[in-house]
């Protein structure tokens, strides 16, 4: 399948302000029965703890100003769930700030072993103990830059579930794979290998993020209709692996250069249940607008 690509203006000013219309709480679950989930992946940013806490405080301050525009509460299925993924050293203090706003924190990754001589690695028990609800697994940067294989990703997904946390499994095709027209094959292969051995019961805690690699950090965003088709296709894969119930209840985020300008169109799609946001989540105003999608 060929996806049409829309070039999104990436040169948004960091100082720009986005107005938010106060429409009252939205009950998205009435539309698709899946709680929307918006996640901000800070990657290896910002540079210092002070900057990270400023970002978290700035984001919460904007959400408080926007009260009523969007109900954010991870534990209430009628509200949008919001998760931040700060770098490991900042997780605890960011959580202290954001939990008052009903926002969860997660870890950008874990190793699949429990403990031992694995220098520079972080165990699932460690991130669980500092309050992480979610863990990213299979992010394309880990696959490409750190040789994370599907076998390892599968072990990590299972380890995250074993420790009572929720994996966000990232899948998606590279530019070359997109050019070859094998998006579906790549997604099917990654979903089936990375979820191998995950029980139907555990699938309620799994979120999938469809992230076309060519759209990550590039300013290129997959056309909303085309992304929706891939999400629908991923549901057919889940239906074959599990059943229709899992296929229809699993939340699937879109990720790849999501901005305040593109989020509303993406979230209007039937099978897009949220967004995994990198660059724009480093700007409090942009991310606040994104989680307050219309
Ligand atoms: C990501 O890191 O998962 C991502 C989607 O990044 P960006 O929004 O910057 O493309």
The verdict on whether 133 is a catalytic residue reads no
* Closest atom of ligand 1 to CA, residue 281: 8
C-beta of residue 161 within 8 angstroms of C-beta of residue 122: no
Which residues contact ligand 1 via a Cβ below 6 A?
41, 211, 216-217, 255-258, 276-280
Q: Are strands 274-277 and 251-255 parallel, antiparallel or unpaired?
A: parallel
Question: Ligand 1 centre and the CA of 116: distance in Å?
Answer: 32
pTM higher than 0.75: yes
b/e 65-92 (16+ beta carbons within 10 angstroms → b): ebeebbbbbbeeeebbbbbbbbbeebbe
Catalytic pick among 81, 133, 139, 173: 139
C-beta of residue 260 within 8 angstroms of C-beta of residue 34: no
Question: Ligand 1 centre and the CA of 37: distance in Å?
Answer: 15
pLDDT score recorded for residue 67: 62
User: φ, ψ for residue 242 (rounded to 5)?
Assistant: -125, -100
- Helix (H/G/I), strand (E/B), else coil: 44: coil
* Closest atom of ligand 1 to CA, residue 258: 8
Half-sphere exposure of 75 (CA within 13 A, CB side): 4
The verdict on whether 231 is a catalytic residue reads no
Q: In CATH, what number does 29-291 get?
A: 3.20.20.70
Residue 128 CB coordination number (10 Å): 18
Secondary structure (DSSP) of 70-85 = S-B-TT-TTSBEEEEE
Which residues of the chain fall below pLDDT 70?
A: 1-32, 67-75
pLDDT score recorded for residue 199: 98
State pLDDT tens for residues 97-130: 999 999 999 999 999 999 999 999 999 999 999 9
Question: Residue 120 has what DSSP assignment?
Answer: T
Choose which residue among 85, 255, 281 to substitute to test ligand 1 binding: the one with the highest number of ligand atoms within 8 A of its C-beta: 255
pLDDT score recorded for residue 27: 39
Q: What is d(CA 252, CA 90) in angstroms, rounded to the nearest whole number?
A: 27
User: Dmax over Cα atoms in the chain, in whole Å?
Assistant: 53
- Helix (H/G/I), strand (E/B), else coil: 92: helix
Choose which residue among 37, 216, 286 to substitute to test ligand 1 binding: the one with the highest number of ligand atoms within 8 A of its C-beta: 216
- Atom 7 of ligand 1, residue of closest alpha carbon: 278
C-beta of residue 257 within 8 angstroms of C-beta of residue 220: yes
Instruction: Show Cβ contacts of residue 219 under 8 Å, excluding neighbours closer than 6 positions.
Output: 7, 8, 9, 10, 257
pLDDT score recorded for residue 33: 83
pLDDT score recorded for residue 30: 41
User: φ, ψ for residue 168 (rounded to 5)?
Assistant: -105, 105
Half-sphere exposure of 169 (CA within 13 A, CB side): 34
pLDDT score recorded for residue 221: 81
13-21: Cβ within 8 A, 24+ apart? 14/283, 16/285, 16/286, 17/285, 18/260, 18/285, 18/286, 18/288, 18/289, 20/66, 20/69, 20/288, 20/289, 20/292, 21/69, 21/294
Q: What is d(CA 110, CA 166) in angstroms, rounded to the nearest whole number?
A: 12
* Closest atom of ligand 1 to CA, residue 257: 10
Burial class (CB in 10 A: 0-12, 13-18, 19+), 100: exposed
Q: What is d(CA 214, CA 54) in angstroms, rounded to the nearest whole number?
A: 31
Residue 6 CB coordination number (10 Å): 14
């Amino acid at each position: 399948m060929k996806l049409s690509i829309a070039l999104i203006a990436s040169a948004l000013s960091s100082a720009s302000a986005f107005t938010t219309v106060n429409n009252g709480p939205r009950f998205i679950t009435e539309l698709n029965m899946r709680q929307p989930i918006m996640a901000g992946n800070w990657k290896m940013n910002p540079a210092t703890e002070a900057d990270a806490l400023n970002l978290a405080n700035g984001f919460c301050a904007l959400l408080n100003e926007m009260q009523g525009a969007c109900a954010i509460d991870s534990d209430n299925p009628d509200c949008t769930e919001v998760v931040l993924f700060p770098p490991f050293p900042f997780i605890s203090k960011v959580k202290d700030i954001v939990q008052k706003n009903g926002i969860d924190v997660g870890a950008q990754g874990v190793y699949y072993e429990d403990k031992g001589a694995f220098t520079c690695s972080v165990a699932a028990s460690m991130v669980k103990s500092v309050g992480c609800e979610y863990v990213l697994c299979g992010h394309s940067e880990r696959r490409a830059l750190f040789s994370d294989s599907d076998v390892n990703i599968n072990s990590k997904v299972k380890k995250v579930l074993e420790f009572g946390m929720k994996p966000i499994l990232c899948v998606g095709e590279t530019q070359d794979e997109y050019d070859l027209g094998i998006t579906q094959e790549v997604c099917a292969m990654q979903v089936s290998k990375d979820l191998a051995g995950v029980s139907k019961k555990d699938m309620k805690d799994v979120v999938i993020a469809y992230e076309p690699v060519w759209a990550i950090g590039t300013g290129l965003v997959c056309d909303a209709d085309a992304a929706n088709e891939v999400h629908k296709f991923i549901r057919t894969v889940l239906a074959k692996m599990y059943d229709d119930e899992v296929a229809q209840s699993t939340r699937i985020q879109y990720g790849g250069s999501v901005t305040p300008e593109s989020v509303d169109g993406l979230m209007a799609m039937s099978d897009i249940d949220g967004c995994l946001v990198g660059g724009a989540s480093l700007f409090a105003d942009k991310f606040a607008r994104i989680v307050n999608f219309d």
